[in-house]
Structure 1
Amino acid sequence: MTRMTTTASSIATVGLEAAPSRLSARLDTRPEARRVLDLARDTFIEGYRVDMGLLAARLGVDRTSVFRWVGNRDALLSEVLWSLAVPTLVQAEHATEHLAGAERVADLMTTFTRDLIVADYFRTFLRREPARALRLLTTAESPIQRRFVATVEWLVTRELGDAPFHGTITPEELAYLLVRVSESLTYADLITGDEPSPARARTAFRHLLRVG
């Protein structure tokens, strides 16, 4: 994996460093793009559909301006979703500060997955736009999965070193497996029709990471 990370990377920054987007690159320098993102994020959290026309109307501009500032709806939704994932990851990081090694990775992944499963606004989005949600969250069509894998790889390397489990697997390979487990259990209702289960997620992560 080619990563754009620094020694100052943290769980809040490493994903974006690894997979920036055209929109993410504009957010710190284009206040109009930031305004659209902030309004879209608030709309999403309130449980409403992020509609480009309605955003434009609330900002007092035309749709063309909104598309010029942030790109298409998928690009905007991707950044909204990642902007919500980051504080969730940070919260999970803080909740597991008393742990170390594989146990910390397992508990952090469990906490993050559980928080996604119980977030009402997130489940509302999944139910309303299941096909788009899975495409943006679990495929290469958006940077979200690449950012998630990069973040977990950073976490694995920090907690387990460059050669986890005596070098039988690389940090990148282990991170990808952990992310796919998280996805399959978070979106179980969309993929298999099963109820998402934090308990099953905990069992899977601990088994994969060899935590007794």
Structure 2
Amino acid sequence: MRAFREARHTFIAGSRIDMGGLATSLGVDRTSLFRWVGNRDRLLSEILWSLAVPTLDRASRAADDTGSTGAARIVDVLDRFTADLIEAPYFRAFLTREPARALRLLTTTESDVQSRFVGRVTTLIEHEQSSGTFDPGPLSAEELARLLVRISESFTYAEFISGETPNPDRARAAFEYVLRPDAAHADPTRTSTTPSPSPIGDR
């Protein structure tokens, strides 16, 4: 849909999405725009998730390239994803520009972004569990996924939650502390500064 694509490009460019301005640029009235994409929060939620998906996919492919399995693979995927969010200019611009709205849309049940993220992490855990390379212990895959998502959020939005500077290395350390990956499966070449290009489709 043209309205979504234009709003998404505006977001990636680091600019604020204005529904009135978007409607004008499309040559429609606000009623038609709201009918197409919902209200501003709904539109932002869909844009945020549309950017999270390719970021998660890149993290998964990169983890696969290292040959890691089990807890080490889960740590690697979450580490890369969290580092990418921390370093993505358009994402940091949104957090700085609209911190209250960003946290509400990303970390609460008022938006389905968090629930979708939990779903993806749950699937990641279940894959390693079914492969026989990981045991989540006393927690279900979904319960562990919710814990790991909260850890990711705590470090990604650290400046707004705790007043600290977001730090990918500390996020990885937290994932490793919880999951206790076998050191033999760790990727010694992993660095915490993974580039965060826009999704391939937006280049």
Fold match (TM-score > 0.5): yes
Alignment partner, residue 25 of structure 1: none
The secondary structure found in structure 2 opposite 1:140 is coil
Alignment partner, residue 106 of structure 1: 75
Does the alignment pair 1:57 with 2:27?
Answer: no
Deviation at 1:145? Answer: 0.5
Whole-Å Cα distance in 2 between the matches of residues 201 and 54 of structure 1?
38
The secondary structure found in structure 1 opposite 2:122 is helix
Contact 1:162–1:170 (8 Å) recurs in 2:
no
Whole-Å Cα distance in 2 between the matches of residues 47 and 144 of structure 1?
20
Q: How large is the Cα RMSD of the aligned pairs?
A: 1.4
Alignment partner, residue 197 of structure 2: none
Contact 1:106–1:202 (8 Å) recurs in 2:
yes
Deviation at 1:165? Answer: 3.2
Mind listing any 5+ residue stretches in structure 1 that lack a counterpart? 1-33
TM-score (norm 1): 0.81
Q: Give the direction of change, closer, same or farther, for the CA distance of 1:150–1:166 in structure 2 (3 Å limit).
A: closer
Alignment partner, residue 116 of structure 2: 147
TM-score (norm 2): 0.85
* Residue among 38, 46, 51 paired with 1:84: 51
Aligned residues: 179
Equivalent residue letter for 2:82: T
Q: Give the direction of change, closer, same or farther, for the CA distance of 1:197–1:67 in structure 2 (3 Å limit).
A: same
Alignment partner, residue 134 of structure 1: 103
Deviation at 1:160? Answer: 2.5
Q: Superposition pairs for residues 1-212 of structure 1, below 5 Å?
A: 34-97=1-64, 98-161=67-130, 165=135, 167-211=137-181, 212=183
Contact 1:102–1:160 (8 Å) recurs in 2:
no
Deviation at 1:69? Answer: 1.1
Alignment partner, residue 22 of structure 1: none
Equivalent residue letter for 1:88: T
Higher RCO, Cα 8 Å, sep 6+: 2
Equivalent residue letter for 2:158: A
Whole-Å Cα distance in 2 between the matches of residues 166 and 92 of structure 1?
21
Whole-Å Cα distance in 2 between the matches of residues 124 and 166 of structure 1?
36
The secondary structure found in structure 2 opposite 1:165 is coil
Equivalent residue letter for 2:73: R
Equivalent residue letter for 1:188: A
Contact 1:162–1:171 (8 Å) recurs in 2:
no
The secondary structure found in structure 1 opposite 2:135 is helix
Deviation at 1:63? Answer: 1.2
Contact 1:116–1:122 (8 Å) recurs in 2:
yes
Whole-Å Cα distance in 2 between the matches of residues 114 and 167 of structure 1?
27
Q: Give the direction of change, closer, same or farther, for the CA distance of 1:167–1:209 in structure 2 (3 Å limit).
A: closer
Whole-Å Cα distance in 2 between the matches of residues 166 and 88 of structure 1?
24
Mind listing any 5+ residue stretches in structure 2 that lack a counterpart? 184-203
Contact 1:185–1:201 (8 Å) recurs in 2:
yes
